[in-house]
Each structure stands twice: as C-alpha cells, then as structure tokens.
C-alpha cells in the first residue's frame, strides 16, 4: 500500500547510507569481543520486591546476556521509570521473568527497545537493518501499561516492545493494556512493533497472550516488511482505533486496521497455528488480521486455530481478515 511503500523505502534508504560510527570494522569486532555476553548473566534483585527496580532492569538490559530476577517468592510488578534499551554490541539479551515478573510502563513510556540502526545504541555494521545480532528473547514475562505515544523514531509504535533489526522471539509471555498513537496510516503495535529481521526470518511468538491493546493499527502485533510465526497464543479485546485506513482517505488521519495483527511491506508471511483470536475489532479493515503485502506476494497460513467475533467495521475479505496476498491457506480452523 502507498504509505507502507513510502515508509519501507525510507527505512531502506537510511540503512543503505549507514556506516559504523566511532569504530572501524576491526574496532567494532574488538568491542563486541570485549562485551561478549554469551556467557554473561545478571540477576535483578536480591530477594525482595523492593530490590527489583527500574534502574536495575535498565542496567541489566544495557549489559546484555541472560537476565533473571530474584524479587522474592511472589509475583512482583516493576514500575519502569525509564525505557530499557538494548545496546547493539550485545550478542544476545534474554529476559526471563520466571512467570512472576511484570514490567509496567505506567501508561507513560515504552518498556523495552532494540534498534540496530539507532546511533545512540551503537552502530556495529554497515547493514544495520539486516544484522544477525543482537538476539532478543523475552520469556515468562508480563508487560503492562506500555505506551509509545509521542515516540517518533522510525515511525513510532511498540508500546511495550519496539524492535528494528537483529532477531526477536517471544515465549510464554503476556501483554495487557498497552498503547500507542491512536491515529496514523502505518503506525501500530500497542504491544509489539517490529521493523526488519535478519535475513527476513520470522519473529517467533509462542504460548503468549495479548489483551486490551489500543493503537491506530495492529493493537497486539504490527510490522512493516516482517514475517511472523505465531503458535499456541491468544489475542483478545484488542482494538485498532485509527480512522481513514491506509492510504488515508481525504480528510482523515488514517489507520484503524488489524485489531490484533497488522502486516504491511514486501515478501511477508504469517503463520498462525493452534491459536485463538477472538473479540478483537478494527474500525476499518481486519478485526483480527490485516495482511497486505505491497507486492501481493505474501502468504497467510492458519492451522488448528479459532478466529471468531472479530468485527471489521469497514472492510474484510473473509470474517475478521483483510487479505491481499498471493496465497491464503486455512486448515482445521474456525474462522467466522
């Protein structure tokens, strides 16, 4: 679609002109070796809820490696006073909350950020939009009250998590009540926004839930030029609240598509397997899924899943889905 093409082209142009800042190739490799986090591990907290602070989380994410939590025996919510940002010299960042840790953006800020093309987080290659690392893994965590409202870098979006470049995987995690801008034709991802993945490999989402997101588009997942593999996950009560679709109708701010999932860009693919998408809504197209490759080459595969009661107030090709791609395959599933 026209807006998606323009955004994707702009991102590609930035990446094509990028060169590592402040280090030659050898220096960059030396810096990576000196901060190699494959064996690194950080424990946030010292056994009590009070010891698990926003500051400790921010520092741990910047250091990279495996991050676990020791916040006492019960569930704990850490109120984030600052966005935790991945530094691009990290080989991997693994956040493991053990099923008891919630990070809250308090309705005021984005919670987690990774961007391989952000100078402030260190450029490590001349192809920042297609590099293998960092690898960001989020497992057994909750993200609530994240907000990217007012964030403009790379188009904004990603109330809980924003990723550009490297690799992202979400496992056994929950996203609830996250927000991003309410209008905009391509802006999206109240929970998660992704631009670019290494070698166009899919973002993997397994055994995770997304509820109560509000954004212009894609109020659970949103991406441009990125594929997804969603397995054994649940999407409920997410709303795409923009108005005017994409490209924006005259006199409208644009948006309102993909109540749960919004995908735009070239050569994109979505697999939804053993998952439930119910009770989501789009003011424009695709109450559950909005899927529009610019080159119409993409594929949508739904297996063993249930998609019900996902109204599209404006348009859809089948119940809850607006699809303009090369091939749509639905097997052993309910879509109504």
Bond before 134 cis per omega within 30 degrees = yes
**Best CA proximity match to 142, nearest among 229, 86, 212:** 212
**Which residues contact residue 94 at a Cβ distance below 8 angstroms, ignoring those fewer than 6 apart?**
65, 66, 67, 136, 137, 139
Q: Which residue has the tokens 């005021």?
A: 108
How does pLDDT run along the chain (336 residues), one tens digit per residue? Answer: 434 433 333 333 333 333 344 443 433 443 444 344 444 799 999 999 999 999 999 999 999 999 999 999 999 999 999 999 999 999 999 999 999 999 999 999 999 999 999 999 999 998 999 999 999 999 999 999 999 999 999 999 999 999 999 999 999 999 999 999 999 999 999 999 999 999 999 999 999 999 999 999 999 999 999 999 999 999 999 999 999 999 999 999 999 999 999 999 999 999 999 999 999 999 999 999 999 998 899 999 999 999 999 999 999 999 999 999 999 999 999 999
pLDDT, residue 40, reads 73
**CA separation (Å) from 223 to 13, 109, 112, 163, 261?**
18, 20, 16, 10, 9
Residue 43 C-beta-side C-alpha neighbours within 13 Å: 8
* Ordered DSSP codes for 164-194: ESSEEEEES-EEES-B--S--SS---SSEEE
Distance CA 132, CA 124 (A): 11
What pLDDT, on a 0 to 100 scale, did the predictor assign at position 19? Answer: 38
The pLDDT tens digits of the residues spanning 286-296 come to 999 999 998 89
Listed in sequence order, the residues at least 6 apart from 59 whose beta carbon sits closer than 8 Å to its beta carbon are none
Q: Are 137 and 114 in contact (CB under 8 A)?
A: no
* Terminal CA-CA length for the chain: 26
Please report where in the chains the tokens 């709303």 appear, as a residue.
239
Please, are residues 75 and 49 in contact by the beta-carbon 8 Å criterion? Answer: no
């Amino acid at each position: 679609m026209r807006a998606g093409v323009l955004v994707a082209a702009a991102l590609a142009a930035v990446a094509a002109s990028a060169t590592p800042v402040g280090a030659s190739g050898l220096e960059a490799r030396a810096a990576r070796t000196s901060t190699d986090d494959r064996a690194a591990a950080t424990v946030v907290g010292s056994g009590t809820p009070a010891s698990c602070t926003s500051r400790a989380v921010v520092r741990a994410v910047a250091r990279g490696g495996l991050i676990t939590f020791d916040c006492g025996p019960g569930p704990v919510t850490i109120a984030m006073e600052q966005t935790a940002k991945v530094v691009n010299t990290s080989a991997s960042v693994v956040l493991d909350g053990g099923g008891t840790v919630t990070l809250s953006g308090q309705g005021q800020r984005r919670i987690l950020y990774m961007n391989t093309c952000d100078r402030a987080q260190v450029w490590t290659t001349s192809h920042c939009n297609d590099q293998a690392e960092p690898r960001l893994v989020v497992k057994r965590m909750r993200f609530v009250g994240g907000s990217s409202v007012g964030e403009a870098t790379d188009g904004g979006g990603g109330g809980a998590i924003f990723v550009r470049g490297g690799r992202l995987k979400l496992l056994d995690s929950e996203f609830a009540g996250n927000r991003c801008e309410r209008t905009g034709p391509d802006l999206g991802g109240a929970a998660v926004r992704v631009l670019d993945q290494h070698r166009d490999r899919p973002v993997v989402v397994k055994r995770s839930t997304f509820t109560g997101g509000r954004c212009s588009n894609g109020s659970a997942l949103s991406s441009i030029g990125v594929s997804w593999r969603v397995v054994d996950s649940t999407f409920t009560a997410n709303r795409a609240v923009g108005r005017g679709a994409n490209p924006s109708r005259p006199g409208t701010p644009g948006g309102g598509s993909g109540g749960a999932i919004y995908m735009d860009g070239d050569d994109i693919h979505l697999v939804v397997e053993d998952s439930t998408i119910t009770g989501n809504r789009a003011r424009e197209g695709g109450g559950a899924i909005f899927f529009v490759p610019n080159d119409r080459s993409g594929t949508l595969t739904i297996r063993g899943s249930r998609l019900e009661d996902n109204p599209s107030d404006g348009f859809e090709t089948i119940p809850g889905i607006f699809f303009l791609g090369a091939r749509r395959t639905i097997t052993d599933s309910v879509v109504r």
